Amino acid sequence: MRNKISNSDVGLLRYGIREIVDVAQKIGEVDKDFTFIGENIGDPIAKGWMVPKFVKEIIVEEVQKPGDAVFGYSHSRGNPATRKWVTEYAKRFSPSSKLDYEYVLFASGLGAGISALYHMLPAGARVLQPTPSYPTHASMESFNAKADPIIYKLDPDNGWQPDLGDMEAQIVAHPDIVAILVINPNNPTGAVYSKETLESIVKLAEKYSLMIISDEVYFRMVYNGLEYAQITEIAQGRVPLVVMRGLSKDVPWPGGRCGWLEFHNVDLDADYKEYAEAVKKRVLMEVCSVTLPQVVLPKIYDHPEFEAWNRAYNAELEKNGNYIAEVLGNTPGMKVNRTNGAFYMMPLFNEGVLNDKQTLPVKNDAARAYIEGEVSKPGFPLDKRFAYYLLANTGICVVPASGFFSPYYGFRLTTLDRDEVRRKDTYARLSAAITEYTKSA
């Protein structure tokens, strides 16, 4: 008899952002009139954003160089010239940065970098996760720990800022916590954290000798008059700090699969340095990360047109986000914080608004039967029920907040859609569907 090959911890890997796409696919198979409107995935390309011409020109030039170097493997930790550029780049935001290029590690997408980080933590070491959480972090951390995530609250009544009291209470209650994860600007809430908030988090990390992991993949996407506060500056020389960046969102090139980890303050303590060395070894096992984006990225970010492109991108995201916040904020039963960074929003249902009898009409019999079968499963979250009916009724695909380990019912949407007519139509229909659903029972 063979030993089991299936892993009983697989239930800890949850990715609601994509799971709902399988539901849409099933509806599409039985309902030929079904039109999918994906407001679920943060892929700018899928929502009409074009890679700027100067970026394409840089890529073409590199691809055509004699020797075909970008088709080969790169250094296992990443192209050395690019890693050196990353250290110089860090100084532009935090002039006192002492980041060493030997502690800059490239990965084939930040998703791969996230897996490597959690994988190399010793058994029993936990990383405190925000909730609502970004599922790759929360899932990979909890899968590695073989236990549910330990979470601190982001506060919807305080513009989705971290609840610092809850953060400290969790640290005190769980002595196995070795690090705090901060995602800023935040996915899924669209919040941007103030300098004071970051200072308080760094103080907590100092008080309890913790490492900070700062996912900053959206750090160039900040608007509505806010400024991005640099935790690298605040935490300089104070606590172990791993910063994560990538070019999926701002170039935007999510299919390029390129992200990197920066280990700041490595000389602070020997244990942290050993951990960084362990992650280096883990990255080595992957042979190398995708070569082309690594090689071209300094040229992209240093290109004279990049800043203008980034400003225009942010201005449009600001306009889209504020429009959506107004429409949904005026929908009865909803609590909405506007988006100040990244390109997500998490509207919440006010308490008591949802129940397990509410429905929306689904014309196609087979689609209706499928949805009814799904939502009647035991323990089906109320916001997931709403998202399934919304999908079958309108084709609009949002991700239920419960898919982000959220304690509140709501859903996450992206503010990316560039097509104004479609965007206005989508949010008018979404608002009407919320009203119809919440009144249905």
Ligand X SMILES: Cc1ncc(COP(=O)(O)O)c(C=O)c1O
Query: Closest Cα partner for 185 from 405, 339, 338?
Result: 339
Instruction: Out of 28, 111, 329, 333, point to the residue binding ligand X (CB under 6 A).
Output: 111
End-to-end Cα distance, the chain: 53
d(CA 280, CA 187): 27
Site string for ligand X, 227-246 (x = CB under 6 A): -------------------x
Least distance to ligand X, CB of residue 127, Å = 14
Rank residues 110 and 398 by Cβ distance to ligand X and give the closer one: 110
Is 134 among the residues that bind ligand X (CB under 6 A)?
yes
Asked if 211 contacts 368 with a C-beta cutoff of 8 angstroms, the reply is no
Partners of residue 262 on adjacent β-strands: 104, 243
> Least distance to ligand X from the beta carbon of 134, Å?
4
- Does residue 168 contact residue 204 with C-beta atoms inside 8 Å? yes
Binders of ligand X: how many residues, by CB under 6 A? 13
Pick the stretch among 24-32, 106-114, 369-377, 416-424 that binds ligand X (CB under 6 A): 106-114
Residue 111, class by beta-carbon neighbours within 10 Å (0-12 exposed, 13-18 middle, 19+ buried)? middle
Give least dist CB 63 to ligand X, A. Answer: 21
E strand spans, 57-188: 104-107, 126-131, 151-155, 161-162, 177-183
Q: Closer to ligand X by CB, 213 or 327: give it.
A: 213
Q: How many C-beta atoms surround the C-beta of residue 50 within 10 A?
A: 11
DSSP codes, 126-179: EEEEEES--HHHHHHHHHHHTSPPPEEEEEGGGTTEE-HHHHHHHHHH-TTEEE
CB of 53 to ligand X, least distance (A): 22
> Nearer to ligand X by C-beta: 133 or 170?
133
In the complex with ligand X, which residue's Cβ is closer, 246 or 298?
246
| 259 contacts ligand X (rule: CB under 6 A) | yes
Q: Of 80, 82, 125, which is closest to residue 274 (Cα–Cα)? A: 125
- Is residue 170 within 8 A of residue 192, CB to CB? The reply is no
Nearer to ligand X, 253 or 370 (CB): 253
Q: Convert residues 141-180 into a mask of x (bound to ligand X by CB under 6 A) and - (unbound).
A: ----------------------------------------
Among residues 308, 307, 322, the alpha carbon closest in space to that of 190 is found at: 322
Find the shortest distance in angstroms from Cβ 404 to ligand X: 11
Residues 6+ apart with CB under 8 A from 377: none
Q: Which residues pair with 259 in a beta bridge?
A: 107, 246
Contact residue for ligand X among 105, 177, 182, 183 (CB under 6 A)? 183
Supply the minimum distance, in Å, between the C-beta of residue 365 and ligand X: 36
Site for ligand X in 40-69 (CB under 6 A): 42
Query: Is residue 414 part of the contact set for ligand X (CB under 6 A)?
Result: no
Q: Does 215 bind ligand X (CB under 6 A)?
A: yes
CB of 363 to ligand X, least distance (A): 33
Q: Where are the alpha helices (DSSP H) in 183-257?
A: 195-207, 231-234
Site stretch for ligand X (CB under 6 A), options 74-82, 90-98, 104-112, 140-148: 104-112
Q: How far is the CB of 111 from ligand X (least distance, A)?
A: 3
- Comparing CA positions, the residue from 405, 391, 428 lying closest to residue 135 is 405
* Interface pick for ligand X out of 27, 140, 217, 317 (rule CB under 6 A): 217
Cα–Cα–Cα angle for 280, 283, 288, rounded to 5 degrees: 125
The reply to whether 130 sits near ligand X by the rule CB under 6 A is no
**Contact status: 131 vs ligand X (CB under 6 A):** no
Say whether residue 254 binds ligand X (CB under 6 A): yes
Note whether 110 binds ligand X by CB under 6 A: yes
Strands (E), 350-388: none
In the numeric block, the tokens 């992206």 are attached to: 414
Binding residue for ligand X, selected from 78, 109, 347, 403, defined by CB under 6 A: 109
Q: Which two tokens stand for residue 196?
A: 């004071």
Which span (52-60, 108-116, 223-231, 299-307) binds ligand X, by CB under 6 A?
108-116
When asked if residue 118 is in the footprint of ligand X (CB under 6 A), the reply is no
**Cβ atoms within 10 Å, residue 52:** 20
Which parts of this chain interact with ligand X (CB under 6 A)?
Answer: 42, 109-111, 134, 183, 187, 215, 217, 246, 248, 254, 259
